[in-house]
């Protein structure tokens, strides 16, 4: 690893934008830092990563990303604790997952040391951009896409990985109202639903727009075959609490293996909360709502960590969830964020010090 770490070149920006940023009013993913990491794949191998000033990229119009959609990404965060130490949360899982996504889209896998040492070099250069206010963090977006050219429908021969960062404030989305989807599907068996492929999200936008027009914030995705089983919440994994049991769908070809999802399952077990990883039907959730046993539903992902759901719509009926004093959502979010910000002992070994 030292070999790559020592080989990474750093070209610093001539001037910094940091003085123009209001760190007390940061929208999510809108303000970008001064630098980015770039790493190119050419002649059958990944070249040495380099840190350069944040800048536009130039691509040939026949670059295959535009025509065949070879593109994958990750979402992660860097945090500062009260002592100004910088921490990442389960970054090796992000590296592993971007390679799982890449493999599915015939993109060459990025070596761990290229990813991790490149990320560390970038964060050291832009460390001042990591916010220190409560709930804030530096959102990190690694992505890989096809730069090789030609209209032939085949994998590209050249690719580019970029890691760009955006300081972001506390992600308070409020409680969301969701519509259970029965027409459109997010993914299918044998497809790419488990990968963080750009096209997965593009395909979600239209059904989500239709739900927004009906007064909902987001869509609950169901299985592609029968639309009987609950799978994901928008771009997040979903958890459902019936009585005292927390239920989430098993990962599959269709469902993303979320890092926040995995963390919630482990923390819930540590809190002696009964957890079931199993298929759950829409009818079970509707019945639980009707008989009062449905206590909570929430989405889980990197950006919001946990996003509580206040109610859902299904077949022209509205179902509200109760307001709870001591919700699982609040407990689990605090447990995760306390680990992320180095406020408590990390018994799981998830924190990664820069």
Query: Could you report the per-residue pLDDT of 124-163, keeping only the tens digit for each?
Result: 999 999 999 888 999 999 999 999 999 999 999 999 999 9
Residue 350, CA distances (Å) to 82, 90, 120, 342 in order: 18, 5, 17, 11
Confidence class for position 2, pLDDT limits 50, 70, 90: low
Mean pLDDT for the chain? 95
CB atoms within 10 A of CB 314: 19
CB-CB contact of 88 with 352 (8 Å) = yes
Evaluate if residue 277 carries a pLDDT over 90.
yes
Residue 135: the pLDDT is 85
What does 190-240 look like in DSSP terms, one character per residue?
TSSTTS-BHHHHHHHHHHHHHHHHTT-SEEEEE-TTTS-BEEEETTEEEEE
Query: Could you report the per-residue pLDDT of 42-97, keeping only the tens digit for each?
Result: 999 999 999 999 999 999 999 999 999 999 999 999 999 999 999 999 999 999 99
Query: Could you report the per-residue pLDDT of 159-193, keeping only the tens digit for each?
Result: 999 999 999 987 766 779 999 999 999 999 999 99
CB-CB contact of 163 with 67 (8 Å) = no
Domain ranges of the chain: 2-168, 176-340
Residue 172: the pLDDT is 60
Instruction: Give the integer Cα–Cα distance in Å for 253 and 191.
Output: 6
List the structure tokens of 318.
């509205």
Q: Whose structure tokens read 């519509």?
A: 179
Looking at the structure, give the CATH architecture of the domain made up of residues 176-340: Alpha-Beta Barrel (3.20)
Q: Provide the Cα torsion 162, 163, 168, 171; round to 10°.
A: 90
CB-CB contact of 264 with 300 (8 Å) = yes
Percent of the chain with pLDDT over 70: 99
Residue that wins the pLDDT comparison between 201 and 173: 201
Residue 1: the pLDDT is 46
Looking at the structure, give the CATH architecture of the domain made up of residues 2-168: 2-Layer Sandwich (3.30)
Instruction: Give the integer Cα–Cα distance in Å for 63 and 69.
Output: 10
Residue 19: the pLDDT is 95
Nearest residue to 244 via CA among 134, 324, 313:
324
Calculate Rg over the CA atoms of the chain: 21
Evaluate if residue 267 carries a pLDDT over 90.
yes
Tell the burial category of 49 from Cβ atoms under 10 Å away from its Cβ (0-12, 13-18, 19+): buried
Facing residues of 160 across strands?
40, 145
Query: Could you report the per-residue pLDDT of 283-323, keeping only the tens digit for each?
Result: 999 999 999 999 999 999 998 899 999 999 999 999 999 99
What does 81-129 look like in DSSP terms, one character per residue?
-TT--EEEESHHHHHHHHHHHHHHTTPPPPPHHHHHHHHHHHHHHTGGG
CB-CB contact of 192 with 200 (8 Å) = yes
């Amino acid at each position: 690893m030292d070999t790559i770490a020592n080989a990474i070149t750093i070209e610093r920006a001539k001037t910094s934008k940091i003085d123009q940023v209001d760190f007390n009013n940061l929208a999510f993913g809108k303000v970008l830092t001064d630098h980015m990491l770039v790493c190119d794949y050419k002649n059958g191998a990944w070249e040495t990563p380099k840190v350069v000033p944040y800048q536009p990229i130039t691509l040939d119009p026949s670059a295959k990303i535009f025509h065949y959609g070879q593109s994958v990404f990750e979402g992660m965060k860097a945090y500062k604790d009260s002592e100004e130490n910088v921490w990442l949360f389960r970054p090796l899982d992000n590296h592993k997952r971007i390679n799982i996504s890449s493999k599915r889209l015939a993109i060459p896998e990025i070596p761990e040391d290229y990813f991790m040492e490149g990320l560390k070099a970038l964060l050291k250069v832009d460390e001042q951009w990591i916010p220190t206010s409560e709930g804030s963090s530096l959102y990190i977006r690694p992505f890989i896409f096809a730069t090789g050219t030609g209209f032939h429908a085949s994998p590209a021969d050249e690719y580019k990985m970029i890691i760009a960062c955006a300081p972001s404030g506390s992600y308070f989305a409020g409680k969301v109202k969701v519509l259970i989807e029965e027409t459109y599907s997010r993914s299918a068996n044998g497809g790419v639903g488990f990968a963080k492929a750009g096209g997965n999200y593009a395909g979600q936008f239209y059904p989500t727009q239709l739900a927004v027009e009906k007064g909902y914030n987001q869509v609950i995705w169901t299985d592609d075959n029968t639309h009987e089983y609950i799978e994901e919440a928008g771009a997040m994994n979903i958890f459902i609490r019936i009585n005292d049991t927390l239920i989430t769908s098993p990962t599959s070809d269709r469902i993303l293996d979320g890092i926040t999802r995995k963390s919630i399952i482990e923390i819930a077990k540590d809190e002696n909360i009964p957890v079931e990883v199993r298929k759950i039907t829409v009818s079970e959730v509707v019945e639980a709502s009707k008989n009062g046993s449905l206590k909570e539903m929430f989405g889980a992902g990197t950006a919001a960590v946990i996003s509580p759901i206040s109610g859902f719509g299904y077949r022209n009926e509205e179902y509200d969830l109760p307001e709870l004093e001591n919700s699982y959502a609040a407990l689990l979010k605090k447990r995760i964020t306390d680990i992320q910000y180095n406020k408590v002992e990390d018994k799981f070994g998830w924190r990664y010090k820069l």
